[in-house]
Amino acid sequence: MTASVAAPVVPPFAVVPGRQVKEVLHGRESAVTRVVEDTYRLHAEGHTVNPPSSFLRFTDRPASRIIALAASLGGDGARVDGLKWIASFPANVRSGLPRASAVLILNDPVTGYPFACMESSVISAARTAASAAAAADRLSRGRPRPTRVGFVGTGLIARYVHTYLAGTGWTFEHTGVHDLSADSAAGFRLYLEQAGDTGPVTVHRDAETLIRTSDLVVFATVAGRPHVTEASWFDHNPVVLHISLRDLAPQVLLSATNVVDDAEHVLRESTSPHLTERLTGGRAFLDGTLADVMAGRVTPPPDRPVIFSPFGLGVLDLAVGKYVYDEVARSGRLLLVDSFFDELNRYG
Q: Let me know whether 248 and 148 are in one domain.
A: yes
CATH code (residue 71): 3.30.1780.10
Q: Let me know whether 91 and 136 are in one domain.
A: no
Write the pLDDT tens digit of every residue in 284-305.
Answer: 999 999 999 999 999 999 999 9
**Is residue 28 domain-resident?**
yes
Cα–Cα distance measured from residue 192 to residue 66, given in angstroms and rounded to the nearest whole number: 31
Residues, the chain, total? 348
Nearest CA to 163 among 268, 274, 22? 22
Q: Let me know whether 199 and 286 are in one domain.
A: yes
Cα–Cα distance measured from residue 106 to residue 203, given in angstroms and rounded to the nearest whole number: 41
Q: How far is CA 238 from CA 7, 181, 255, 257, 305, in A?
A: 56, 25, 12, 11, 5
Q: Let me know whether 52 and 180 are in one domain.
A: no
Q: Let me know whether 139 and 277 are in one domain.
A: yes
Beta bridge partners of 116: 14, 106
Q: What per-residue confidence (pLDDT) applies to 4?
A: 56
pTM of the model: 0.93
DSSP letter (8 states) at residue 233: G
**Is residue 344 domain-resident?**
no
Q: Let me know whether 97 and 54 are in one domain.
A: yes
Write the pLDDT tens digit of every residue in 89-132.
Answer: 989 988 888 888 999 999 999 999 999 999 999 999 999 999 99
Q: What per-residue confidence (pLDDT) applies to 264?
A: 94
Q: Let me know whether 158 and 233 are in one domain.
A: yes
Which stretches of 106-206 are DSSP H helices? Answer: 121-140, 156-167, 182-195
End-to-end CA distance of the chain: 34
Domain with 205 in it: 130-309
Q: What per-residue confidence (pLDDT) applies to 83?
A: 98
Q: Let me know whether 180 and 67 are in one domain.
A: no
Q: What per-residue confidence (pLDDT) applies to 3?
A: 56
Q: What per-residue confidence (pLDDT) applies to 348?
A: 64
* Cβ-count burial 31-47 (b if 16+ within 10 Å, e if not): ebbebbbebbebbbeeb
Q: How far is CA 79 from CA 66, 102, 106, 227, 247, in A?
A: 26, 22, 10, 41, 35
**Is residue 234 domain-resident?**
yes
Burial class (CB in 10 A: 0-12, 13-18, 19+), 56: exposed
The count of structural domains within the chain is 2
Cα–Cα distance measured from residue 20 to residue 76, given in angstroms and rounded to the nearest whole number: 27
Positions in the chain short of pLDDT 50: 1
Nearest CA to 271 among 252, 255, 257, 284? 252
CATH code (residue 284): 3.40.50.720
